[in-house]
Amino acid sequence: MKKNKVWVWVNRIVTTLLFVLLLSVATLVIASRISGGEPSLFGYQLKTVLSGSMEPSIKTGSIIAVKPGGDMTRFQENDVITYRTEDGKLITHRIIEVITNESGTMYRTKGDNNETADNELVLSPNIVAEYTGFTIPFVGYFSEFAKSKNGNLFLLIIPGILIFVGAMISMWRTVTKLEKQQKNSQTPPIDEAS
């Protein structure tokens, strides 16, 4: 009987974890689709760091929170910004020099782990957001996988199938138990007098 109780608790825990995983991934995927690729939470965007240019400050595969909007000419040396390059790529690097002239405000940036500064100056209109200092290491690998087609398949469909199979097994056990109880209740008593 004790073994049966342990099995019931293990079953509940696994089902709950699968359900939470399913909801989390579904929320991440839906938020990513709605926001155009990057999920947002309380006004902060979550970005995945895919290179080691900012190590050791920001590890490769981390998720970082950045704050979009505001005056993009407000930044100073040592601020970390996320900006869009001419080819549309997002980069998060540290400002090493602020240049203000008649053309406007521009920034010279450099990755903490890079030997030299970036080749091109960053124009203030190209800045997407400011890094807030919030980082979750290595979760970005999971996030990127979850956004891929294989990730969607694996993280949405597989837990759903496992939850369904678990529910079918539970129903089968319950029906078997009920049939056994019904069979036992219908068995006529043995007549000891004969």
What's the pLDDT at 97? 94
- Same domain for 74 and 107, yes or no, is yes
What's the pLDDT at 34? 61
Phi–psi pair at 186, nearest 5 degrees: -90, -10
Q: Is residue 160 in some structural domain?
A: yes
The DSSP secondary-structure symbol of 9 reads H
- Same domain for 4 and 91, yes or no, is no
SS (H, E, C) 79-124: CEEEEECCCCCEEEEEEEEEEEECCEEEEEEECCCCCCCCCCCEEH
What's the pLDDT at 111? 93
The identity of residue 75, as a single letter, is: F
- Same domain for 107 and 149, yes or no, is no
Name residue, tokens 């991440």: 28
What's the pLDDT at 82? 93
For residue 193, pLDDT beyond 60 = no
If you average pLDDT over residues 68-88, what whole number do you get? 90
- Same domain for 42 and 133, yes or no, is yes
- Same domain for 104 and 170, yes or no, is no
Name the 3-class secondary structure at 177: helix
Q: Is residue 92 in some structural domain?
A: yes
What's the pLDDT at 83? 93
Q: Is residue 193 in some structural domain?
A: no
Residue range(s) defining the domain that contains residue 33: 1-37+145-176
- Same domain for 52 and 108, yes or no, is yes
What's the pLDDT at 108? 95
With beta carbons less than 8 A apart as the criterion, state whether 141 and 61 touch: yes
Instruction: Report residue 127 as tokens.
Output: 């800045």
Catalytic residue numbers read 51
Tell me which of 54 and 2 has the higher pLDDT.
54
- pTM for this prediction: 0.60
What's the pLDDT at 76? 92
% of the chain surpassing 90 pLDDT: 23
Number of domains in the chain: 2
- Same domain for 168 and 93, yes or no, is no
Task: Give the whole-angstrom CA distance, residue 59 versus residue 135.
Answer: 9
- Same domain for 121 and 57, yes or no, is yes
Q: What is the CATH number of the domain that holds 48?
A: 2.10.109.10
Q: Is residue 166 in some structural domain?
A: yes
Instruction: Report residue 182 as tokens.
Output: 């019904």
- Same domain for 169 and 125, yes or no, is no
- Same domain for 43 and 125, yes or no, is yes
Task: Give the whole-angstrom CA distance, residue 95 versus residue 80.
Answer: 6
What's the pLDDT at 95? 94
Express each pLDDT in 105-159 by its tens digit: 999 999 999 999 999 999 989 999 999 888 878 776 666 666 677 776 676 677 7
- Same domain for 43 and 133, yes or no, is yes
The DSSP secondary-structure symbol of 156 reads I
